[in-house]
Amino acid sequence: MMKFLLIASVLLNIGPVPEKVIYKQIGNLELSLEVFRPPDADHGDPRPAMVFFFGGGWNGGRTQQFQPHAEYFSDRGMVCFLVEYRVNSRHGTTPFESLMDAKSAMRYIKANASVFHIDTARIVAAGGSAGGHLAAATAFVEKFNDPHDDLSVSPVPAALALFNPVVDNGPSGYGYDRLGERYVDFSPLHNVRQGAPPSIFFLGTRDKHIPVKTAEQFKRAIERVGGRCDLVLYEGQPHGFFNYRNRPYFQNTVYETDRFLVSLGILEGQPTIDRGTPGTKKE
């Protein structure tokens, strides 16, 4: 049934219509959140939440990339948010503004937790590629905050779900040509510290942007400070393998994310999606 609903929502465009909420205004520009609420979301205890950042190299991309994920996890009882943020192709901005917006979104969601009926101790940040960078950076990067934000509200999530994320922005990583030496303060890999949220990291072994060794370095860096990072590798898969169009890998990465969140106590029960094509967990 879940598979049918996801196909219907994406291919036939008859899925749940999200609520749109403006979380930030810069001049005449309004940035929004698309909110997917589970059934009876306003009743009972506050719900866990999941915040998705689309990929696109901080240059482009659309929130719809993670709509199938938001539909699935809202059905599992989470309030899900698709975040619009500034990108170069539409707003003439740099990766630094993208990160400021990501942090603003996290702060807005936390500050309005009672409105959304969510538990701030169970907010998961998720994203793919450059959106995975933004999710990870809300946890690790202390600089690049919008001065108009309430900086007393922490943007740090309780957990991370990272889909072939950009975590190394150094000279041998991704984005250095645009960041220069500011990568030191911008790169999640270079800013891992104690208190790192538990993370799950999905990667194809033929990803041209994120080498397996980078994912392994990130995993080791988190484990060195006493944290948890589950690395799941998919043999022969390229960058973007996890997207909805690649159904067996979409299913497995969602299935494993669900199991990961259950292991943390953020979700309960068992995944309601088929397992799909499994990867290999790197110990």
- Report yes or no on whether pTM surpasses 0.85: yes
Looking at residue 2, its pLDDT comes to: 40
Longest dimension (CA), the chain: 50
Residue 24 bridge partners (DSSP): 31
CA nearest to 69, candidates 6, 133, 137, 150: 6
Q: Six-digit token pair at 254? A: 């969602």
pLDDT digits (tens, 9 = 90+) for 185-235: 999 999 999 999 999 999 999 999 999 999 999 999 999 999 999 999 999
Looking at residue 3, its pLDDT comes to: 40
CA nearest to 169, candidates 243, 61, 96: 96
pLDDT digits (tens, 9 = 90+) for 20-43: 999 999 999 999 999 999 988 778
CA dist 177 and 170 (Å) reads 9
Which are the contacts of 16, defined by CB distance < 8 A and separation ≥ 6? 9, 36, 71, 74
Q: Given the structure tokens 């001049």, which residue do they identify?
A: 27
Q: Given the structure tokens 């990870």, which residue do they identify?
A: 136
Looking at residue 11, its pLDDT comes to: 41
CA dist 122 and 109 (Å) reads 12
Low-confidence ranges of the chain (pLDDT < 50): 1-14
CA nearest to 4, candidates 241, 272, 278: 272
Domains in the chain with CATH codes: 2-282 (3.40.50.1820)
Looking at residue 40, its pLDDT comes to: 82
